[in-house]
Amino acid sequence: MYSRLSAAALRRGAARQTGKAAKGSTVRFASTQSSSSFQKLTESNASLVAASAMAVGSIAWYTHLYGGLPFVGEVHASHASDNGLHPSIREVCAACHSLKRIAWRNLVGVSHTADEVRVLAEEHEYTDGPNDQGEMFQRPGKLSDYMPSPYPNDEAARASNAGALPPDLSLIVKARHGNADYIFSLLTGYMDPPAGVEIREGMNYNPFFPGGAYRYGPCTPATTSQMAKDVVTFLNWASEPEHDERKQIGIKAFILFTTLWAVSVYVKRYKWIPIKARKIIYNPPAEPPKKF
């Protein structure tokens, strides 16, 4: 078959095969360089020291934030140290505003104990059913219930607040520009209206509120910085109840990652490399001299 091909065709075929071989050798060379760089990185003592330092530092960071070692036991905030955040909401803001997205169980371990929250929930009646006779009935609240609204519907809320609908406070911190700073400024910013500003009856002047006027609820006490701080702190938590737990899980994942990284570098550096780099030499026994 080759005898039928011209000399030019044979030369082109040889050149094509040479180009493929050169290309293949280039790819192998690049791959070898990449693996060699990664190998040097994973086998160096600097990588082992860095991984160990990050693992120890993340554990110390977790202990500083949460007061205990990770994976040993969960540490919950004491309800006595939270300055009564929920009572501030319940006695001040709940007269007009709702917390529809917060269940009673969310308060356990945050501002109250389970027994205290159960007592608070039982103070409210919830419609449940139907029963065996097919009728709805009233029952005391339980931990799985969500906090009730002060009004049965939006129309009743508007009628009790001069046509204004009090917003739900579950996500109020996330829904306002400035977040917690805005809420704090709003609560502490009430003052007498300046000259030339007219306020309707039942309204109060506040420069931080859009329009400068806002209607107080009937049970609102004097707004102080401490009361505003308590309310804002609770509302900031209510807008994201899973925030602390999510942060804890993230730090724990980082601790696991850095620890496994340090262990893998140590095993590769001091256990696997001696096995990988050793040479096995086989010396066959000398053959006995042949007898003639």
Least confident range of 19-23, 182-186, 193-197, 226-230: 19-23
Per-residue pLDDT at 74: 56
Per-residue pLDDT at 24: 44
**Whether residue 91 has pLDDT greater than 50:** yes
- What mean pLDDT do residues 88-109 have? 83
What is the spatial distance between Cα 233 and Cα 227, in angstroms, rounded to a whole number? Answer: 10
Least confident range of 91-105, 159-173, 220-234: 220-234
What is the spatial distance between Cα 100 and Cα 145, in angstroms, rounded to a whole number? Answer: 10
Alpha helices in 44-178 (DSSP H): 45-66, 85-88, 114-122, 154-160, 172-175
- What mean pLDDT do residues 230-246 have? 85
| Cα angle, residue 12 at apex, residues 6 and 13 outer, rounded to 5° | 90
Per-residue pLDDT at 16: 60
Per-residue pLDDT at 163: 84
Per-residue pLDDT at 8: 58
Per-residue pLDDT at 25: 44
Instruction: Report the predicted TM-score, pTM, of the whole model to 2 decimal places.
Output: 0.58
**What does the mean pLDDT of the chain come to?**
76
What is the spatial distance between Cα 84 and Cα 107, in angstroms, rounded to a whole number? Answer: 11
Question: Could you tell me the pLDDT band of residue 274, with boundaries at 50, 70 and 90?
Answer: confident
Question: Could you tell me the pLDDT band of residue 265, with boundaries at 50, 70 and 90?
Answer: confident
Higher pLDDT, 255 or 83: 255
Per-residue pLDDT at 139: 92
- What mean pLDDT do residues 61-85 have? 63
In 3D space, the residue among 178, 273, 65 whose CA is nearest the CA of residue 189 turns out to be 178
Per-residue pLDDT at 29: 40
Residues 8-65: tens digit of each pLDDT: 555 665 556 555 544 444 444 434 444 566 666 666 788 888 888 998 998 898 888 8
What percent of the chain lies above the pLDDT cut of 90? 11
Residues 114-167: tens digit of each pLDDT: 998 999 899 999 989 888 888 899 999 999 999 999 998 999 999 988 888 889
Per-residue pLDDT at 266: 87
The strand pairing partners of 108, in sequence order, are: 112
What is the spatial distance between Cα 126 and Cα 141, in angstroms, rounded to a whole number? Answer: 6
In 3D space, the residue among 226, 289, 268 whose CA is nearest the CA of residue 47 turns out to be 268
Higher pLDDT, 3 or 32: 3
Contacts of 272 (CB under 8 A, 6+ apart): none
In the structure, how many helices (H) and strands (E) does the chain have?
Answer: 10, 4
Per-residue pLDDT at 23: 46
